[in-house]
Structure 1
Amino acid sequence: MEINFLAIIVASFSTLLVGFVWYGPLFGKIWMKENGFVEEELKQGNMLKIFGLTLLFSFFIAFMMQFMVIHEFGAFGMINGAEESALPSYKAFMDDYAGKFRTFSHGALHGTMMGLLFVFPLIGINGLFERKSWKYILIHSGYWIICLAIIGAIVCGWK
């Protein structure tokens, strides 16, 4: 199995693009209010550090996401990556199913499921203990659900 690093890099940048819209014109004012931020305070941040680390962390997410949305990686992992010593059933499985679910929509489905069933509960738990509002929890969860759907679509559908 080959890893498509170009797809991972493009998927990583998608988090910045979505964030620009999500935390800007769509929910920027609500997000700032829920966090107690004012614009002057936000302008004082080290944007190179923030955007650089965001890209790095997004790369990690996109890299890992391919193993969750491309089913062939599961079969490949079951043989420990040793295709030359795999049983004939592995080759038969790959002949039958390799590439069958490598679509943008399939990746988006899995990304959305990861967002709803994994990330939303994580953000929700943290938000509850931090005494954050449901607006705060839903804004952040919504962002990650959208981002993971896009990341899943890119890394699964881009062959």
Structure 2
Amino acid sequence: MPEIQINYLAVIIAVVANFILGFIWYTPLFGRIWAKEMGFDPDEKPPGSVMARGMIFMVIGNFFLAYVFAHNIAVWDPETWGLGPSEMSNIANIASAAFFTWLGFFLPVDLGAVAWEKKSWKLFGINTSYHFLSLVVVAAILIYM
């Protein structure tokens, strides 16, 4: 059984980067459209306690995503199994890890929101694009560090 090495500094940096990406994505870039598609008033600001709770949950979720993703990337690395270096470039490894994780775990949930929760395709596009970009950013940090 191989010993999985997790770079905790990379995980923490990925958590912070993903938090910043989420803020940019859901505030200046798509915040108003996202709020409208969710049925919220884009001009209404939530109370500070609601924002604080949301940010805490986001950091916890980002940690789980980065930690588990680091584990999965390590498991698929041939060096973890003592088979020598991977023949994939870092870019190919990032793209593969992000794409297949998004395709198998995020896209189905995002499609389910359209099918069962009656969310719009516009909201689907905003959310699933964020999920994919988030995975690319986190994978890049985990693989390059």
Scaled by the length of structure 2, the TM-score of the pair is 0.82
Local SS of the residue matching 1:43: coil
What is the CA–CA distance in structure 2 between the aligned matches of 1:18 and 1:112, rounded to whole Å? 18
SS for the counterpart of 1:3 is coil
Match of 2:51 in 1: 47
**Structure 2, unpaired ranges of 5+:** none
Are 1:128 and 2:132 an aligned pair? Answer: no
In percent, how many aligned pairs have the same letter? 29
Tell me which amino acid in the other structure corresponds to 2:7.
N
Residue aligned with 2:118, SS: coil
Q: What is the TM-score normalised by the length of structure 1?
A: 0.75
Where in structure 1 are there 5+ consecutive unaligned residues?
A: 77-89
Count of paired positions: 140
Rounded to whole Å, the distance in 1 between the matches of 2:60 and 2:91 is: 23
Whether 1:139 and 2:143 are equivalent positions in the alignment is no
Q: State whether structure 2 residue 31 is matched by structure 1 residue 28.
A: yes
Residue 19 (str. 1) matches residue 22 (str. 2):
yes
Residue 37 (structure 2) pairs with residue 69 (structure 1): no
Bigger-Rg structure (1/2):
1
Counting only pairs closer than 5 Å after superposition, residues 51-130 of structure 1 correspond to structure 2 as 51-70=55-74, 71-72=76-77, 76=80, 91=82, 93=83, 96-97=84-85, 101=88, 103=90, 106-130=93-117
Runs of 4+ with deviation above 6 angstroms = none
C-alpha change, 1:17 and 1:52, in structure 2 (3 Å) is same
Kept in 2: contact 1:8–1:63 (CA 8 A): yes
Alpha-carbon RMSD across the aligned residues, in angstroms, is: 2.3
Please give the alpha-carbon distance, in whole angstroms, between the structure 2 residues aligned to 1:128 and 1:104: 33
Q: CA offset at residue 16 of structure 1?
A: 1.5
